[in-house]
A and B are shown apart, each in its own frame.
Chain A
Amino acid sequence: RKEVEQDPGPFNVPEGATVAFNCTYSNSASQSFFWYRQDCRKEPKLLMSVYSSGNEDGRFTAQLNRASQYISLLIRDSKLSDSATYLCVVNVGNSGGYQKVTFGTGTKLQVIP
C-alpha cells in the first residue's frame, strides 16, 4: 500500500459546483497534514494545513479522520481559477524533530465554464 494515496482524477466540474477530494495515508503515526495546490508547470503552493478539529478558509474546508486515516478537501462554489492539481502531504515526525514528508501524486481538478 502506498504511504499516501489520492485519486488522480481528473475531476471535471461546472463552475459553482462543490467538489471533494480524499487522501488516504498508511502510517498511523502521521502527525501533520497539508493540502497544496500546483498549477501546470508551476511549483506547489501551500493551500492550507489540516487540523484535527477541521478547518475552513473561505470556500475551502479541510478535515482529518484519524480513525480511518484520511484527509479531505472540500471546495465550494468552484471557480475557473480553482483548476489545478491538489496535492495531499503527510508528515511523520519524531521526538528528535526529524520529519519524513510524503507527497501524494495529486488530484487534478478542471472547472468548466
Chain B
Amino acid sequence: NAGVTQTPKFRILKIGQSMTLQCTQDMNHNYMYWYRQDPGMGLKLIYYSVGAGITDKGEVPNGYNVSRSTTEDFPLRLELAAPSQTSVYFCASSYWGSNQPQHFGDGTRLSIL
C-alpha cells in the first residue's frame, strides 16, 4: 500500500527559484494537508483542502500556493524561494470526520541557499 507519497525527497534551491512539491494519496481521503517543520520545532500548517477544488490557508501560507484538481493530488508551489523556507515539508491526508487520524508522507527536505 503506497499511502501518501511525496516527491522529491530532497531538494536544494537557489534564492528566487520556484518549485512544486508533489503529494499524492491512494486512500481516497477527502482531506489533505501541507505542513512544514523547522529543526527542533513543531508542525505548522501551511494549507489544507477538504476536497477537490477546495483549499484554504493554514497558519503560515505566505510564500506558498496550492491546488487540488483531483482527490488524489495536492501539490505545493513555492514561487520565489527564500532562505526562510528551508524546512522539512510533510503532506498528510485523512478521511472526512473529526475522529479520523491523519496519515503522513515521509517528507521533502528542502534547502534554499
Contact = CB atoms under 8 A, between A and B. Distances in A.
A101 B33 contact: yes
A46 B101 contact: yes
B105 A43 contact: yes
Interface string A93-111: 1100111010111100000
A54 interface: no
Of residues B88, B94, B101, B102, which shows the largest number of chain A Cβ atoms within 10 Å of its Cβ? Answer: B101
A98 B101 contact: no
A91 B45 CA distance: 14
Interface residues of A, number: 24
Contacts of A106: 42
Interface residues of B, number: 22
A103 B42 contact: yes
A91 B103 contact: no
A34 B90 CA distance: 18
Given A43-B90, A103-B43, A105-B42, A32 B99 contact: yes
A78 B61 CA distance: 39
Interface of A, helix, strand, loop or mixed by DSSP:
strand
Given A43-B104, A98-B50, A105-B42, A91 B88 contact: no
Contacts of B105: 43
Interface in B57-107: 88, 90, 94, 96-107
A104 B88 CA distance: 17
Contacts of A43: 90, 104-107
Contacts of B99: 31-32, 49, 91, 93
A3 to B, nearest CB: 11
B97 A42 contact: no
B106 A42 contact: yes
Nearest to A94: B98
B103 A46 contact: yes
A9 to B, nearest CB: 12
